[in-house]
């Protein structure tokens, strides 16, 4: 399972990075091309940051746990 997850994440990171790099060299006078580059770069950064925060245990519930967040129980 670990090998599968590692391989899948690696492939996705590489694909997103390569995609961003293909958009990097754009005509500075072409606003649409600049937007495509920024979108691709942000896609890579946000995806990798999300992976980091999730694997480091710093997801959305981490802050809530520090503040004593409780889930509602249904009976």
Closest CA to 22 of 8, 41, 9: 41
User: Residue 72 — φ and ψ, nearest 5°?
Assistant: -75, 135
Is 80 exceeded by the pLDDT of residue 44? yes
Is 80 exceeded by the pLDDT of residue 14? yes
User: Residue 70 — φ and ψ, nearest 5°?
Assistant: -125, 145
pTM for this predicted structure: 0.68
Quick check: 37 and 16 in contact, CB under 8 A? Answer: no
Per-residue pLDDT, 69: 55
Quick check: 6 and 27 in contact, CB under 8 A? Answer: no
Residues 16-38: tens digit of each pLDDT: 999 999 999 999 999 999 999 99
Quick check: 20 and 47 in contact, CB under 8 A? Answer: no
């Amino acid at each position: 399972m670990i090998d599968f997850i590692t391989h899948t994440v690696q492939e996705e990171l590489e694909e997103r990075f390569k995609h961003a790099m293909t958009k990097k060299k754009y005509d500075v006078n072409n606003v649409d091309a600049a937007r495509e580059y920024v979108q691709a770069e942000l896609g890579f950064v946000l995806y990798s940051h999300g992976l980091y925060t999730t694997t480091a245990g710093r997801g959305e519930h981490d802050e809530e746990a520090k503040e004593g967040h409780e889930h509602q129980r249904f009976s």
